[in-house]
């Protein structure tokens, strides 16, 4: 399995987007580009409250273009590794590197990136393909910019998180 072309798409679900997200259409379009270029796409879907497995709010956004073959992992916490089959699945496939995108920047995307980095996965974050909502004390745009800065500077000896635009990631995958 190629480690550079595995895409982890976090919580791009109807129920998550019941709360308006900044640049939703642009984010979905970029994620679709990444899906089209990936060798493997893994969709992480949160199940909690009204977002029960199989419900309409649990389903992926209808604008996402699902590849013919993909993996779906259900989670119940912000961390996609916590009490899920994600790590086992990655190990079985021989995956040691991931490109990460999705929602919400400041919750599930952030927590999963930090957990994956701590577990030694080589990570690329699609810096322009994650989104969130405005919060009480800060705008979504500021949260996205701040998290991109934090991830780029995260100190994990022997493991660097790389931030790239969707265009840069796709060029690397083609290169």
Give me the torsion for CA of 33, 68, 97, 78, rounded to 10°: 80
90/85 Cα distance (integer angstroms): 9
First to last CA, the chain: 17
pLDDT surpassing 70 at residue 138:
yes
* Alpha carbons 86 and 42: distance in angstroms, whole number: 9
Q: What pTM value is reported for the model?
A: 0.97
Asked if 104 and 131 count as a contact pair (C-beta separation under 8 A), the reply is yes
Which structure tokens are listed for 68? 């013919």
Give 38-82 pLDDT, tens digit per residue.
999 999 999 999 999 999 999 999 999 999 999 999 999 999 999
Mean of the pLDDT values across residues 142-150? 98
Q: Which domains does the chain have, with CATH numbers?
A: 6-174 (3.40.50.850)
């Amino acid at each position: 399995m190629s480690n550079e072309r595995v895409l982890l798409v976090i919580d791009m679900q109807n129920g998550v987007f019941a709360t308006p997200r900044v640049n939703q259409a642009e984010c979905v379009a970029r994620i679709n580009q990444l899906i089209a270029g990936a060798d493997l796409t893994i969709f992480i879907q949160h199940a909690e409250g009204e977002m029960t497995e199989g419900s309409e709010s649990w389903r992926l956004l209808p604008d996402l273009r699902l590849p013919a073959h993909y993996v779906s992992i259900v989670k119940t916490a912000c961390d996609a590794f916590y009490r899920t089959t994600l790590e086992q699945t990655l190990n079985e496939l021989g995956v040691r590197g991931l490109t990460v995108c999705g929602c919400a920047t400041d919750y599930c995307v952030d927590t999963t990136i930090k957990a994956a980095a701590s577990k030694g996965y080589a990570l690329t974050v699609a810096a322009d393909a994650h989104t969130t909502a405005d919060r009480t004390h800060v705008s979504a745009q500021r949260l996205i910019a701040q998290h991109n800065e934090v991830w780029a500077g995260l100190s994990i000896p022997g493991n660097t998180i790389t931030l790239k635009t969707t265009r840069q990631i796709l060029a690397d995958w083609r290169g």
